[in-house]
Structures are given as C-alpha cells and as structure tokens.
C-alpha cells in the first residue's frame, strides 16, 4: 500500500518556521541535546557511509491516508507564483532504486556528428569538444532544423537540447552572415549557460552573441546589440524592455528558439512571449523545446509554429539513474539537525538543496555555514553577479552545498552532483522531476532525497 501525505484535521497550517517541527528552536542552528536522530537506511538495499535510510513506500506510518496539507508563503521563490501550494502525489513516486543502464538500453544513433550536413569548420570545433555521438534529441532534431523545419522537441532536462538547436543554427550563419536568431529562455542562469555553450561551438568562427538578462547592466547589452550580433539570448522581461527602448528590432530576425517553454508558462511569461513573438516575421523559423506537453503548451505550439515536426525522446518522468527516497522527520526531531548530520557524511560531497522561499533558502545557507558546512545560495533576490559567483563556487567544488529555490531547478548543467535534497516540497510533481534532474546526469547514478 502506497503512502500519501496526511491532511491536518485541526484546520491549522503546518509550521512556517523554515519547515522545522513546532517546539524546535527558531534558529535551527544549534544542536538539540535530547533530539533523537534516526539513522537513514537505504530502503532498496545497501548503505552509504554510516547512514541508512528507512523505506516509507510499504505502508502507512503514524496517520491516516489522504491528501496533503497545503501551506502558503509570500516569499515564494517560484518566480511569478502568488503564494505556495505543496504538490499532491503518491509517495511511491518519490521512491525508486536507481538502475544501471543495460546494454540493450543503450541508444544507437542514426548519425555521428561527422555525418551531419554542416560546415567543416563547425565539425572541427565539435570534434575539439570531444563530441562524437549525438544524444537522441540531437540525432533526431539536427537534420530537421538543417532542413528548415519548425520543430517541437519534447525531452527531459539534461538531454543535450542546447546543442540540438545551436549547432544547426550556427551552421545557418556560416552559410549566410545576415542570419539572426533570437533564443528566449526563462532564467538568466540558463541564458548564460547557453551563451557559454555557444562560444564553445563558435570559437574562431567570427560569430557573436549577446546575453540579455535582468539583474545585469542594460547599457553593456545595448552596446553589443548595436553591433548586430547573430545571436541574441535573453529572458522575456529584459527582451521586452530592450524592445520598448527601441534597441531590439525583432522583425529582422529570421529564427527564434523558445527553450524551456513550459517553465516560461509556469513563471507567468506568456503575455511577454506573445508580445515578443508578435513583433517577429511571420515567415520565421521557429524551434520550440519543452519537457512537458500540456494543453497550454499545445495552445502555444498552435500559435507560434507552422506545421512543426515533432521530436519526443522522453521515456519516463525521472531518469532511471536517480536513486530516490524519502526522509520522514519524526515528531520532536529537528529537520535541520537531520540535514546537518547527513551533510557531514563524506558521500554527500556535492549537494543541491531546494527550499521553498528566497528568504528561507538564504537563511538555511547561513545556518549551514554556521555549522561549518561550506554552503552558498541562489535565489531571485540575489544580484546577477552574486548568483553567478555562487554557481561558479559550486561548480568548482569550492562549496559543498548549493541551497536554491526553483530558479535552479531547470536547465543548469552542473557535473558531478551527488545528491539533490528537497528540504521543502515543491509545488508540483513536475517541479520535483526537474529538481532531481540536477543529479544522475550523463549516465552517472545520483541520489534524490525528499523530507516529509
């Protein structure tokens, strides 16, 4: 019998003091001498260090089955969402033993990168980056984009979508230097990551790009825009601002990429997207990428694309390489103290912790630092520079823990993340799948744990 969350029957909201049980210390930063700290036994066999995580997938523990309790907060880090509602999902979906990739599951591509009909100078740059065999989304999408088709690409995060559109579009510029492309994404981190990947592929090709995102100075972006770069990569809000200033004329752009379209929908960017798309040429080449395919996404596809080819490589909600489990906080115990104990285990060497609110994420990072754990934070209230610094420190292993709101749940490609911890539940199961997708990448096994 699968467990679902227990609805409170007293009409009160759950505690809002950072998710700690009532009666715990408000700071959460000091050890509780009498608190019981259970061991964490891996329910699917095996142990990691001195920890073993108990299984909660087999039956009800300490309460009746039913729906979730729901809480709201004014500090939500979800970007554009008013208040907050926890996801409602069967707990069995949060427990899964990672499975190694079997030989018969290995993807066999139809192409090698050397087979694609692209310029040799671009093939040389691809080879220098060590790319030989395309991922499924690249193998299926690149030929279609090279043929000029509008496409809808449905694929999970971490599947190589960025190269799937960058490579054929860079090739278009090599054939016609007047070709210009707009790439619209939901977050500044994803925009910067795409720009970095672009310059890796376009090295030495005399093709330029500009990254137009909020939180960074607009004047330097305007100066680069006036030089007419072939690629403009940006977030909807900043792109709209530049258009209203008369610095971005979209009618001269022949191609547009909408990446992580479902996330832009979630963040409330649809009016801005429609405003921007209305200013583009009706004869444009449109590429549309999303991890999910809802009714609202289908509406956008119908609005923005012309007879698109569809490419779907999504086979399951979560990668088979992610070992998922739940951690139940016993009554009278401190969730924060349990987290600290876990992070002191050597196997937790590169951890992303997701929290609900910007304020809570910032506070948790500081409290972990006070416990001697190297931690930094990323959320919407941080300046552009500070967010990039935190990401850089985490990528370079200068900090062990990155505490984040859902701003970091999508698009970021950070290698070697050992664990993702849901300190606070996300709003939806879809958000959950994107959060845990930060680990278990590139065929490696990762671990995702969720506090309940």
> Which of 4-18, 67-81, 291-305 holds the top average pLDDT?
291-305
Span of 76-80, 351-355, 403-407 with lowest mean pLDDT? 76-80
Q: Taking residues 423-434, what's their average pLDDT? A: 84
3-state secondary structure string, the chain?
CCCCCCCCCCCCCCCCCCCCCCCCCCCCCCCCCCCCCCCCCCCCCCCECCECCCCCCCCCCCCCCCCCCCCCCCCECCCCCCCCCCCCCCHHHHCECCCCCCHHHCCCCCCCHHHCCCCHHHHHHHHHCCCCCCCHHHHHHHHHHHCCCCEEEECCCCCCHHHHHHHHHHHHHHHCCCCCEEEECCCHHHHHHHHHHHHHHCCCCCCCEEEECCCCCHHHHHHHHCCCCCEEEECHHHHHHHHHCCCCCHHHCCEEEECCHHHHHHCCCHHHHHHHHHCCCCCCEEEEEECCCCHHHHHHHHHHCCCCEEEECCCCCCCCCEEEEEECCCCCCCHHHHHHHHHCCCCCCCEEEECCEHHHHHHHHHHHHHCCCCEEEECCCCCHHHHHHHHHHHHCCCCCEEEECHHHCCCCCCCCCCEEEECCCCCCHHHHHHHHCCCCCCCCCEEEEEEC
Q: Are residues 139 and 215 in the same domain?
A: yes
Given this model, what pLDDT does residue 283 score? 93
Domain boundary among 290, 312, 334: 312
Encoded tokens for 18: 């950072």
Given this model, what pLDDT does residue 52 score? 43
Q: Taking residues 309-323, what's their average pLDDT? A: 75
Q: Are residues 289 and 346 in the same domain?
A: no
| Residue 445 pLDDT exceeds 90 | no
| Residue 341 pLDDT exceeds 50 | yes
Asked if residue 143 belongs to a domain, the reply is yes
How many whole angstroms separate alpha carbon 338 and alpha carbon 400? 17
Asked if residue 239 belongs to a domain, the reply is yes
Sheet holding 151-154, edge to edge: 209-212, 231-234, 181-184, 255-258, 285-290, 151-154, 309-312
Q: Are residues 438 and 396 in the same domain?
A: yes
| Residue 58 pLDDT exceeds 60 | no
How many whole angstroms separate alpha carbon 411 and alpha carbon 279? 26
| Residue 112 pLDDT exceeds 60 | yes
Asked if residue 106 belongs to a domain, the reply is no
How many whole angstroms separate alpha carbon 159 and alpha carbon 396? 22
pLDDT category of residue 108 using cuts at 50, 70 and 90? confident
Given this model, what pLDDT does residue 87 score? 65
Given this model, what pLDDT does residue 27 score? 35
Q: Is this prediction's pTM over 0.75?
A: no
Span of 51-65, 184-198, 407-421 with lowest mean pLDDT? 51-65
Burial class (CB in 10 A: 0-12, 13-18, 19+), 52: middle
Q: Taking residues 207-219, what's their average pLDDT? A: 93
Question: Are 43 and 325 a contacting pair, CB within 8 Å?
Answer: yes
3-state secondary structure string, 29-48?
CCCCCCCCCCCCCCCCCCCE
Given this model, what pLDDT does residue 144 score? 96
Q: Are residues 142 and 260 in the same domain?
A: yes
pLDDT category of residue 366 using cuts at 50, 70 and 90? very high
| Residue 270 pLDDT exceeds 80 | yes
Please state the domain count of the chain. Answer: 2
Q: Taking residues 248-268, what's their average pLDDT? A: 93
pLDDT category of residue 48 using cuts at 50, 70 and 90? very low
Q: Taking residues 35-39, what's their average pLDDT? A: 38
Given this model, what pLDDT does residue 106 score? 60
Given this model, what pLDDT does residue 3 score? 31
| Residue 102 pLDDT exceeds 70 | no
How large a percentage of the chain has pLDDT more than 70? 74
| Residue 89 pLDDT exceeds 80 | no
Q: Are residues 55 and 134 in the same domain?
A: no
Q: Taking residues 31-44, what's their average pLDDT? A: 38
State the virtual CA torsion across 280, 285, 290, 296 in degrees, nearest 10: 50
Q: Are residues 283 and 199 in the same domain?
A: yes
Question: Are 84 and 71 a contacting pair, CB within 8 Å?
Answer: yes
Q: Taking residues 401-412, what's their average pLDDT? A: 81
Asked if residue 363 belongs to a domain, the reply is yes
Given this model, what pLDDT does residue 439 score? 85
Q: Are residues 165 and 269 in the same domain?
A: yes
Asked if residue 211 belongs to a domain, the reply is yes
Q: Are residues 300 and 416 in the same domain?
A: no
Given this model, what pLDDT does residue 394 score? 93
Q: Are residues 44 and 160 in the same domain?
A: no
Phi, psi of 422 (to 5 degrees): -90, 90
Please, what is the average pLDDT of the chain? 79
Asked if residue 97 belongs to a domain, the reply is yes
CA proximity to 447, closest of 315, 330, 355, 351: 351
Q: Are residues 42 and 78 in the same domain?
A: yes
Given this model, what pLDDT does residue 90 score? 63
Containing structural domain, residue 417: 1-101+320-452
Domain boundary among 271, 296, 312: 312
| Residue 10 pLDDT exceeds 80 | no
pLDDT category of residue 443 using cuts at 50, 70 and 90? low
Encoded tokens for 438: 């930060």
Question: Are 419 and 448 a contacting pair, CB within 8 Å?
Answer: yes
Asked if residue 288 belongs to a domain, the reply is yes
How many whole angstroms separate alpha carbon 445 and alpha carbon 440? 5
Given this model, what pLDDT does residue 93 score? 67
Q: Are residues 235 and 287 in the same domain?
A: yes
pLDDT category of residue 40 using cuts at 50, 70 and 90? very low
CATH of the domain at 371: 3.40.50.300
Domain boundary among 275, 292, 312: 312
Given this model, what pLDDT does residue 16 score? 36
> Which of 39-48, 268-277, 305-314 holds the top average pLDDT?
268-277
Cβ-proximal residues to 80 (8 Å cutoff; 6+ apart), any chain: 266, 267, 268, 269
Q: Are residues 161 and 220 in the same domain?
A: yes
Asked if residue 250 belongs to a domain, the reply is yes
């Amino acid at each position: 019998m699968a467990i679902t969350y227990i609805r409170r029957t007293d009409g009160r909201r759950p505690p809002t003091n950072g998710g700690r049980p009532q009666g715990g210390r408000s700071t959460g930063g000091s050890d509780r001498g009498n608190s019981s700290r259970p061991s964490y036994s891996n329910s699917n066999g095996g142990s990691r260090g001195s920890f073993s995580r108990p299984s909660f997938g087999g039956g009800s523990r300490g309460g009746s089955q039913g729906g979730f309790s729901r809480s709201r907060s004014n500090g939500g880090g979800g970007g554009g969402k008013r208040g907050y509602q926890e996801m409602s999902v069967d707990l069995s979906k949060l427990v899964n033993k990672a499975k190694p990739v079997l030989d018969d599951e290995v993807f066999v591509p139809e192409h090698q990168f050397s087979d694609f009909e692209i310029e040799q100078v671009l093939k040389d740059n691809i080879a220098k980056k060590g790319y030989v065999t395309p991922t499924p989304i690249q193998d299926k999408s690149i030929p279609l984009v090279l043929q000029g088709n509008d496409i809808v690409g449905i694929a999970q995060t971490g599947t190589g979508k960025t190269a799937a559109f960058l490579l054929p579009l860079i090739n278009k510029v090599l054939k016609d230097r007047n070709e210009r492309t707009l790439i619209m994404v939901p977050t500044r981190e994803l925009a910067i990551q795409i720009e970095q990947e672009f310059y890796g592929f376009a090295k030495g090709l005399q093709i330029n790009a500009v990254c137009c995102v909020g939180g960074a100075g607009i004047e330097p972006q305007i100066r680069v825009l006036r030089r007419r770069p072939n690629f403009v990569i940006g977030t909807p809000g900043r792109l709209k601002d530049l258009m209203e200033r008369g610095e971005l004329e979209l009618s001269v752009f022949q191609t547009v990429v909408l990446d992580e379209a479902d996330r832009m929908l979630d963040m409330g960017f649809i009016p801005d997207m429609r405003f921007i798309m209305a200013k583009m040429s009706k004869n444009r080449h449109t590429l549309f990428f999303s991890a999910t395919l809802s009714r609202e996404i289908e509406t956008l596809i119908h609005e923005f694309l012309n007879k698109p080819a569809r490419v779907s490589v999504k086979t399951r909600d979560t990668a088979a390489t992610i070992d998922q489990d739940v951690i139940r906080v016993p009554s009278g115990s401190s969730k924060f103290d349990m987290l600290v104990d876990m992070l002191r285990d050597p196997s937790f060497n590169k951890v992303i912790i997701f929290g609900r609110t910007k304020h809570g994420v910032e506070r948790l990072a500081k409290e972990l630092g006070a416990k001697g754990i190297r931690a930094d934070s990323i959320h919407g209230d941080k300046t552009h520079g500070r967010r990039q610094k935190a990401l850089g420190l985490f990528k370079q292993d200068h900090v062990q823990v990155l505490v984040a709101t859902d701003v970091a749940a999508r698009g970021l490609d950070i290698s070697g993340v050992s664990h993702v911890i849901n300190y606070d539940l996300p709003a939806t199961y879809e958000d959950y799948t994107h959060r845990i997708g930060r680990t278990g990448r590139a065929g490696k096994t990762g671990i995702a744990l969720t506090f309940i």
